[in-house]
Chain A
Amino acid sequence: KQEVTQIPAALSVPEGENLVLNCSFTDSAIYNLQWFRQDPGKGLTSLLLIQSSQREQTSGRLNASLDKSSGRSTLYIAASQPGDSATYLCAVRQAAGNKLTFGGGTRVLVKP
């Protein structure tokens, strides 16, 4: 059974610092991995999707890496801004089936 863990559970940084969010998963037979952002009381916004054959994806200030063999993904957010404050979730889709397994999320606060 796939288990996804995100550490730390919460993170507070001053504006301008780079953010590093970690996601680990127990079963390396994944189809893809997706990073999401969730604002309080809202749904999820997809940030980056990494296919199992890829090692990283970039979008603007965001960069996500994937090391399937070690069961890890890292989301980097460069030059953080107060607007980046949110909960970040990673989710893994298994090679067989549609199901996404979510991590518990990292709650990020960027202080002005």
Chain B
Amino acid sequence: GAVVSQHPSWVICKSGTSVKIECRSLDFQATTMFWYRQFPKQSLMLMATSNEGSKATYEQGVEKDKFLINHASLTLSTLTVTSAHPEDSSFYICSARGEREYQPQHFGDGTRLSIL
């Protein structure tokens, strides 16, 4: 089945640091990738949608200068949390979908980000 790999799985860093999270589709080409944020005991909130080779589309209320998304190839998207602060601490999950519209989204295992 389709596999999405997310790395790292856990990050702890100091306030003010920038953190990069990678999302890779291992066995299919991901035309579209998605980044979500999940707070404890809550559901997923979509942050942005990215298509390979074009700028990401951010959801309302998500700061694009804070959360930089790059989808440089059909198998890799990155999310960079710039100058992270404690309020950015959260569980970040990516997902990817293949070239066909009707295909499901496949999710990575998530990255737990803790900012001290």
Residues of A within 8 A of B (CB): 31-32, 34, 36, 41-46, 49, 51, 89, 91, 98-100, 102-105
Contact = CB atoms under 8 A, between A and B. Distances in A.
A27 B97 CA distance: 23
Chain B's interface size range is 20 to 34
B102 A99 contact: no
A43 B110 contact: yes
Given A46-B106, A102-B43, 5 more contacts: A41-B110, A43-B93, A89-B44, A100-B34, A103-B43
**Main secondary structure on chain B at its contact with chain A?**
strand
Most buried by B among A32, A89, A98: A98
B107 A36 contact: yes
Interface string B96-116: 010001101111111010000
Contacts of A32: 102, 104
Nearest to B10: A41
Given A32-B102, A49-B104, A43 B109 contact: yes
